[in-house]
Chains A and B, each alone.
Chain A
Amino acid sequence: MARFKKDKSGEMPAISTASMPDIIFMLLFFFMVTTTMREVTLKVKVKPPVATEVQKLEKKSLVSFIYIGPPTQSKIYGTESRIQLNDSFRTVNDIAEFIYNERETRPEADRGLLTTSLKVDKDVKMGVVTDVKQELRKVGAFKINYSTRRKAPKAE
């Protein structure tokens, strides 16, 4: 018959770390699935405003981003709000070309669904944003998304 024997030695048995790689791999896969690769290096500071009525951007591959905000290296570029397309500072006049290029890289069937996400710092003045919007209207990129952070709705 089985008998419970008391370990007389009193030493703690070493905890097996054999499953450690599995745990870490699980974490790794979790992060790989839930996060996205950083595509551009931000040269402007973007602190989006908060809003309650936000919708998620659905197809990530069909979104092109326009960043507007004060440059991060204010010693070199000053503090005036700048527009960043891909990896460099651009002006409003470059937006049309940027949108055409973005359309070129997408499959033809999806071009109508292309959304432009405006990632704008909350302290930027509307003048720049209005210019960008006018430019987008000219090239027919009508679907836009004002990037905002979600704020918990007020309790009523």
Chain B
Amino acid sequence: MARKVPEINAGSMADISFLLLIFFLVTTTMDVDSGIVRRLPPPPDPTAETPDVKQRNVFNVLVNKSDRLFVESRWGDISTLRNEAKEFLSNPQNREDLPEKRMENIPGLGEFPVSKGIISLKNDRGTSYDMYIQVQNELTAAVNELRDELSRQKFGVKFADLRSQMDIDAIQAAVPMSISEAEPENIGGGK
């Protein structure tokens, strides 16, 4: 008969694992990194001429150093900015003073009128970052809501719930994220 091996006392196991747990709790962070994704334009080419864009195709948003908004030559407000931007980008009644549309052949959607509108955002050096993000957020929300509406109409689900890459590309092409930031100290420059 084999000799009985004495059992190792596992009573302190809980203490050891507690210690490890506390160590991890202290040294790690829980925050998920999230934010508003943007793509910066390449540096401007000094020899290139500024592209001629019709006034009706540009939606001017200015933020001054005391965080006041100036939207299309009028005092604006952050609460109405989203709907104004949506109306500008979609132009549902094809009004003369809102952007033109051009017919484009998008795979998956066929001929679709894509707005030529560009939102131009210009801020002062004294604008607070908080205000800048609020404005960016409202403008992004406008584009996202338009994408959602189109996606629901064409595919029956929200844009975020689309699974096929082709559908996603189609919606993105139909409602482009056309937010441009003006070059600092250079009004109207850049894309």
Contacts and interface: CB of A to CB of B under 8 A. Distances in A.
Answer yes or no: are A and B bound together in one complex. Answer: yes
B42 A55 contact: no
A94 interface: no
Interface string B9-42: 0100110111011001101111011111111111
Given A38-B28, A130-B184, A134-B184, A123 B128 contact: yes
Contacts of B129: 49, 120-126, 129
Contact of A53 (B21, B33, B140): B140
Contact of B38 (A17, A51, A126, A145): A145
Given A21-B14, A147-B34, A127 B126 contact: yes
Nearest to B124: A126
Contact of A51 (B30, B36, B39): B36
Given A25-B17, A38-B28, A145-B38, A51 B134 contact: yes
B23 to A, nearest CB: 9
Contact of B141 (A18, A53, A134, A138): A53
Nearest to A81: B129
A2 interface: no
Interface residues of A, number: 55
A124 B133 CA distance: 11
B187 to A, nearest CB: 14
A144 interface: yes
Contacts of A27: 21
Nearest to A151: B137
B33 A56 contact: yes
B68 to A, nearest CB: 14
A149 B130 CA distance: 12
B123 A63 contact: no
Q: Interface centre among B33, B123, B126, B128, by most A CB within 10 Å?
A: B33
Contacts, number: 148
A122 B42 contact: no
A145 B35 contact: yes
Contacts of B14: 17, 20-21, 24
Contacts of B33: 56-57, 60, 63, 117, 145, 147
A101 interface: no
A127 B125 CA distance: 4
Interface in A110-134: 115, 117-118, 120-127, 129-130, 133-134
Interface of A: 17-18, 20-21, 24-25, 27-28, 31-32, 34-38, 48-49, 51-57, 60, 63, 115, 117-118, 120-127, 129-130, 133-134, 136-138, 140-150
Given A117-B33, A136-B40, 18 more contacts: A21-B16, A25-B17, A28-B17, A53-B36, A54-B34, A60-B33, A123-B130, A125-B126, A125-B127, A125-B128, A126-B129, A141-B40, A142-B40, A142-B41, A143-B39, A143-B40, A144-B40, A148-B36
